Structure 1
Amino acid sequence: MAGYRDLLRTPGVARIIAAQLTARFPNGMTSLAILLHVEQITGSYGAAGLVLAATSIGQAIAGPVTSRWMGIWGIRRVLTLTTAVCAAAGLVMALVPLELIGFMLFGFLAGLSTPPVQSAVRTIYPKLVTSRQLTPLFSLDASLQEIIWILAPVVITLVATQAGTVPGLLLIVAILVLGGAWFILSPEVGRVRIPRSRRAFGKVLGKPTVLLATVIGFLLIGACSAVEAGVVATFGHGGLEAGLVLAVFSVGSLVGGLSFGHIPIGRWAMARRLIVVTVGLTLTFFSLSAWWLGASLFVAGIGIAPALAVMFAMTSASVKFSETAEAYGWIGTGQLIGAALGSAAAGFLIDGVGPVGAYWAGAALAVVGVVVAVTCVRGFPDLRNRDASPIPDTEPVPVIT
């Protein structure tokens, strides 16, 4: 923890972490708020699911696109535009009477304009700290983001059930605007300029490290989403146990990230972390009691934030600075698709064999992640004796002869 205290004393680091967590806080609230609001308006969870699907598709498309725009028009311009459009779409969904197609359209627009704060901040980090501090910073970031997934669902559920779904959506818009403004106006954001990438859009996926990070992110988040669906199915939507078990899952990730973030990253780091996740998820097979699931998922959670930290560090170390934002955008898209497919697979298995099917799906996805990490181990960079800073962008310098 002393290392993290020194890290947070570095000028600008604590401020930019707090600002980006606030700006991203709506990410943990939006899906649940839309689900509750659309179901209340239409009386159908199926309709709410369609709106959430449209929103997720918009987010998946936007990830690499808006991230790449930051190298063309600048971080602040892109974040200001996307924040404004996303807030406007949220206000329409909250205040304007809409039919299902209208909710889907504005949900898609809200997803499409989701501010690329995550890509921006992970591109900025290498400019704030020394190369020695970068890997611990990625680990701290991956750990602290669990605060969003612990607190945000609780906050939006309380507001939506006590005050109504419209105030819930308005709260999301308010945090989006205020948190976004805090991040956008942070001096660190203004000091960093992402060079325009000279490579064609999508070419960065051709780098084995970025492709590996995207695939493993897809599998890891898919596994987590399947398990989350299983927990809800086990205890019911209104069960207090579901919220507590999922909170313990996130606390495990927070503890794992803070405890092991200082460990140097070798080629086998990802495989070891995913094995921890797989063991924890496999333990869920033996009992569906709240105590056993909580303990099992705490173990699984210990590997999640460290695995995400490996993804961020290996990506940063393997691409040019001008390509980092787009690379993180693709990784985010992979995670979104994984979340959607993991939830869908879990849903079918829950209908077919009961809640345990969701835990089977989660463990299976985690096992595939371990297999990918082991068989492709040579594709992971060894960062034990090097830093995770991006490759500098260079260009020919004219020489007068």
Structure 2
Amino acid sequence: MAGYRDLLRTPGVGRIMAAQLTARFPNGMTSLAVLLHIEFVTGSYGAAGLVLAATSVGQAIAGPVTSRWMGVWGMRRVLSTTLAICAITITVLALVETVVPVYMVLGLIAGLSTPPVQSAVRTIYPKMVNSRQLTPLFSLDASLQEIIWIVAPVVITLVATQVGTVQALLLIVAILISGGSWFILSPEVGRVRIPRSRRSIGKVLAKPPVLLATVIGFLLIGACAAVEAGVVATFDHGGLEAGIVLAVFSIGSLAGGLSFGHIPVGPWAMARRLAILAVGLSLTVVSLNIWWLGGTLFLAGIGIAPALAVLFAMTSVSVKFSETAEAYGWIGTGQLIGAAAGSAVAGFLIDGTGPQGAYWAAAAFAIAGTAVAVACVRAFPDLRHRDPSPMPDTEPVGTIT
């Protein structure tokens, strides 16, 4: 913890981390609030699912595109524009009663205009700390984001059920504007300039570490999404027990990130961390008892934040600075698709075999991720004695001969 205290004493690090966590807080609230609101307005979970799917598609498309735009028009301009559009769209979604297709269009626009805060802040980090501090900073970031997934769903569910779904969506807008403005106005956001990428969009996926990070992110988040579906199905659609067990899962990730963040990252680091997740999730299928699930999911969670930290570090070191935002955008898109796939597979298995099927699905995703990490170990950079900062962009220099 002393190392993390020293890290947070670095000028600007504590402020930018708090600002970006606040700006990203709506990410843990929007899907649930949209689902509850559309179901309340239309009386149909099917309609709510369609609107939510449109929102997720928008977010998946936007990830690499808006992230890349930050190198063209600047971070503040892109963040401000997307923030304004997203806030207006969610406000309209909350206040205007209309038909499902219009709600789907609004959901798609809200997804497309989700501010690329995550890509922006992970592009800024290498410019704020020295090479020795960068990997622990990525680990701390991955750990603290668990606060979003522990607190945000609880807050938005309480507001939506006790006050109203309209008020829940307007609360998201308020946090989006205040947190987003805090982040956008941070000095580091104005100070760091992302060079314009000279390569066409998508070419960054040709780099093996970036493609590998996207695939593993897909499998990792797919496992987590399947767990969420399984826990909700096990404890009768999100009762108190479900919230407690999911919180324990996130607390395990927080503990793992803080415990392992200082360990140097070698080529086998990802495989070891995913193996912890795979073992924990494989043990969940033994029993659906709340104490057993809590213990096994805590164990599984220990591998999540450390694995995400490896994803961020291996991406940073493998690309030019001008490509970092787009690379993180693709990784985010992979994770969104993974969340959708994990939920869908778990849902089918729950219908067919009961809640235990979801845990089998989660274990399968985690085992597949571990297998990929082992099979592709040569593609992982060795960061134990290497600066994990992005490669600098260089331009030809004219010489007189």
Name the aligned partner's letter for residue 146 of structure 1: E
**Cα deviation digits, residues 349-370 of structure 1 (max 9, x gap):** 0000000000000000111101
* Residue number in structure 2 paired with 1:332: 332
* Residue number in structure 2 paired with 1:384: 384
TM-fit CA distance, 1:237: 2.0
TM-fit CA distance, 1:236: 1.5
User: Partners in 1 of 2:30 and 2:290 — Cα distance?
Assistant: 27
1:204 matched to 2:204 = yes
Give the TM-score, by structure 2 length.
1.00
2:384 alignment partner, SS class: coil
* Residue number in structure 1 paired with 2:288: 288
2:190 alignment partner, SS class: helix
* Residue number in structure 1 paired with 2:119: 119
* Residue number in structure 2 paired with 1:348: 348
* Residue number in structure 1 paired with 2:28: 28
User: Partners in 1 of 2:43 and 2:390 — Cα distance?
Assistant: 49
User: Partners in 1 of 2:330 and 2:320 — Cα distance?
Assistant: 15
1:96 matched to 2:96 = yes
Name the aligned partner's letter for residue 225 of structure 1: A
Name the aligned partner's letter for residue 360 of structure 1: W
Name the aligned partner's letter for residue 53 of structure 1: A
User: Partners in 2 of 1:38 and 1:316 — Cα distance?
Assistant: 39
User: Partners in 1 of 2:218 and 2:13 — Cα distance?
Assistant: 29
TM-fit CA distance, 1:328: 0.1
* Residue number in structure 1 paired with 2:6: 6
User: Partners in 2 of 1:165 and 1:98 — Cα distance?
Assistant: 15
**Cα deviation digits, residues 112-143 of structure 1 (max 9, x gap):** 00000000000000000001100000000000
1:132 alignment partner, SS class: helix
TM-fit CA distance, 1:169: 0.1
Residue correspondence of structure 1 range 267-286 to structure 2 within 5 A? 267-286=267-286
* Residue number in structure 1 paired with 2:109: 109
* Residue number in structure 2 paired with 1:58: 58
TM-fit CA distance, 1:400: 2.7
Task: Could you tell me which runs of 5 or more consecutive residues in structure 2 were left unpaired when the two chains were aligned.
Answer: none
* Residue number in structure 2 paired with 1:253: 253
Residue correspondence of structure 1 range 138-287 to structure 2 within 5 A? 138-287=138-287
User: Partners in 1 of 2:45 and 2:222 — Cα distance?
Assistant: 21
Name the aligned partner's letter for residue 14 of structure 1: G
Residue correspondence of structure 1 range 361-380 to structure 2 within 5 A? 361-380=361-380
User: Partners in 1 of 2:326 and 2:361 — Cα distance?
Assistant: 30
* Residue number in structure 1 paired with 2:313: 313
TM-fit CA distance, 1:238: 4.2
**Cα deviation digits, residues 261-305 of structure 1 (max 9, x gap):** 000000000000000000000110111011110111000000000
Name the aligned partner's letter for residue 385 of structure 1: H
User: Partners in 1 of 2:250 and 2:24 — Cα distance?
Assistant: 16
After TM superposition, the structure 1 stretch with the greater mean CA deviation from structure 2, 235-244 or 245-254, is: 235-244
TM-fit CA distance, 1:74: 0.2
* Residue number in structure 1 paired with 2:44: 44
User: Partners in 2 of 1:371 and 1:285 — Cα distance?
Assistant: 20
1:74 matched to 2:84 = no
Name the aligned partner's letter for residue 261 of structure 2: G
User: Partners in 1 of 2:98 and 2:167 — Cα distance?
Assistant: 17
TM-fit CA distance, 1:172: 0.1
Name the aligned partner's letter for residue 16 of structure 1: I
User: Partners in 2 of 1:114 and 1:272 — Cα distance?
Assistant: 33
Give the 4+ runs in structure 1 shifted more than 4 A.
none
User: Partners in 2 of 1:396 and 1:238 — Cα distance?
Assistant: 58
1:286 alignment partner, SS class: coil
2:285 alignment partner, SS class: helix
User: Partners in 2 of 1:195 and 1:301 — Cα distance?
Assistant: 37
TM-fit CA distance, 1:185: 0.2
User: Partners in 1 of 2:82 and 2:388 — Cα distance?
Assistant: 29
2:396 alignment partner, SS class: coil
User: Partners in 1 of 2:271 and 2:365 — Cα distance?
Assistant: 14
Name the aligned partner's letter for residue 124 of structure 1: I
TM-fit CA distance, 1:176: 0.3
User: Partners in 1 of 2:27 and 2:257 — Cα distance?
Assistant: 20
Equivalences, count: 401
TM-fit CA distance, 1:102: 1.0
Name the aligned partner's letter for residue 73 of structure 2: W
CA RMSD of aligned residues (A): 0.5
TM-fit CA distance, 1:7: 0.2
1:316 alignment partner, SS class: helix
TM-fit CA distance, 1:372: 0.3
2:170 alignment partner, SS class: helix
* Residue number in structure 2 paired with 1:84: 84
User: Partners in 1 of 2:31 and 2:155 — Cα distance?
Assistant: 13
User: Partners in 2 of 1:28 and 1:11 — Cα distance?
Assistant: 28
